[in-house]
Amino acid sequence: MKPHGPIPPGYAADESGMLLIAGHRADALADTAGDTPLFVYDSAMLAARAGEWRAAMPDAVQLHYAMKANPFAPLLAFMAGVVDGFDVASGGELAAALASGMAAGHISFAGPGKRDRELEAAVSAGATLNLESAGEAERALAIAARLGRTPRLAVRVNPDFDLKGSGMKMGGGAKPFGVDAEAVPALVRRLLDAGADWQGFHIFAGSQALDGAAIAETQTQTVALAARLADEIGATPPLVNLGGGMGVPYFPGDAAVDAKAVGDALAATLEARDAALADSRFAMELGRWLVAEAGVYLTRIVDRKQSHGETFLVTDGGLHHQLAASGNFGTVIRRNYPIALANRFGAEPAETVSVVGCLCTPLDRLGDQVALPRAAVGDLVAIFQAGAYGATASPAAFLGQGPAREMLV
Ligand SMILES: *Cc1c(COP(=O)(O)O)cnc(C)c1O
């Protein structure tokens, strides 16, 4: 038997043992959707999560949603009413963000390799471009001049540190992201000279960190870096986007980030900030922390079989919707995501099984030798922490299986 990650708090069963999501039985949700596999997102949990963040953080810090974690249109429209801004990373995401009802002035667009038509769309809409290079800055300025618009431009800084313990390092050393810190003052001066509406800095050091102290330390370094750059430029950045990095517990032994500790430390950091940032606003941009727990992936058992003494539950889902849970999205060692039998939720485990998907590849494993209650064909398996990097971060077209259904309740 191998352990699985912790089931997020807030999930329970009805008296028959059926998992409830947003107060609805998992099997009823699958019926409503018409079929499995199905992602269900709980809007009340999304709102509660944002509320938890606001209660923990200083009032001066705005909450942005990094929509690549989950761009499902109904979820995005819901989030538009819950957070202060969206961070997008492509022209497609920009269009989706605008369609969600989020005001263009609260959308920022980061990401390397922005094409001219994407820069043009952002400038035309009045969204902020987080510039990734001097070359991109020149293209944005030229496009704005051609359109007769004053572009809203921020500079993404490649910091000279990274976020310790983060699953994905996005700063420190040679990176395709952002402008190396020492080159930033000259670039900002160029933007100011060209008459751009300079919006400040975007400094994102890493992702999926669970250690609140490491996040707090990185935020202190980030604020110090922004102050140093502001001093050198001789101008106050209107907004300092501090990045995010708050992760979620996916694996055995993982524990939730202490958001209150991060918020208290950030309050102290901002209190003590350099005068160069006295009039700056601050923001954090979070993806998975806001949406992962609110999502459950439901997949139905199609077959139950034995091979060399191992029991396999073969489902109608798989890595084409849940690449991360299969262990093939940026993890070195495959470990089990939180997993349960939805129709005997909370029951004592009765057997050790491997839950696999329907793709014809050995990579397609959703639960490796996990202890579950006795399962039969037709039962529903639930994978948790499924609200982020599921449906759109998985190869849905692989093997012709097609996308999962999604619903916001
Ligand atoms: C992906 C990304 C995020 C979100 O990361 P999470 O780990 O989901 O919070 C935030 N900011 C930037 C710039 C990103 O690329």
Give residues with Cβ within 8 angstroms of 15, minimum separation 6: none
**Is 358 considered catalytic here?**
no
- Taking the CA of residue 202 as reference, the ligand 1 atom at the shortest distance is 13
The answer to whether residue 172 scores a pLDDT higher than 80 is no
Distance 174 CA to ligand 1 centre (A): 18
Q: Quote the pLDDT of residue 174.
A: 87
Q: Which helix (H) or strand (E) holds 39?
A: strand 38-41
Beta carbons of 312 and 354 less than 8 angstroms apart:
yes
Quickly list DSSP for 201-242.
EEE--EE-B--HHHHHHHHHHHHHHHHHHHHHHTS--SEEE-
pLDDT of residue 169: 67
| Contact predicate 128/141, CB 8 Å | no
110-158 residue pLDDT tens: 999 999 999 999 999 999 999 999 999 999 999 999 999 999 999 999 9
Q: Return the percent helix, strand and coil in the chain, to nearest 5.
A: 35, 25, 40
Summarised one tens digit per residue, pLDDT across range 214-252 is: 999 999 999 999 999 999 999 999 999 999 999 999 999
Helix (H) or strand (E) holding 109: strand 107-109
165 or 289: whose pLDDT is higher?
289
Residue spans per domain, the chain: 12-41+293-408, 71-286
**Quick one: pLDDT at residue 170?**
65
**Burial class of residue 55, CB neighbours in 10 A (0-12, 13-18, 19+):** exposed
Q: Which CATH architecture has domain 71-286?
A: Alpha-Beta Barrel (3.20)
Pocket of ligand 1 (CB under 6 A): 66, 68-69, 87, 89, 110, 204, 207-208, 244, 285-289, 388
Burial class (CB in 10 A: 0-12, 13-18, 19+), 295: buried
Task: Indicate whether 323 pLDDT > 70.
Answer: yes
d(CA 387, CA 31): 20
Length of the chain: 409
| Centroid of ligand 1 to alpha carbon of 67 (angstroms) | 8
Catalytic residue among 135, 332, 360, 362: 360
Which CATH code for domain 12-41+293-408? Answer: 2.40.37.10
**Of 294, 317, 301, 319, whose CA–CA distance to 388 is shortest?**
294
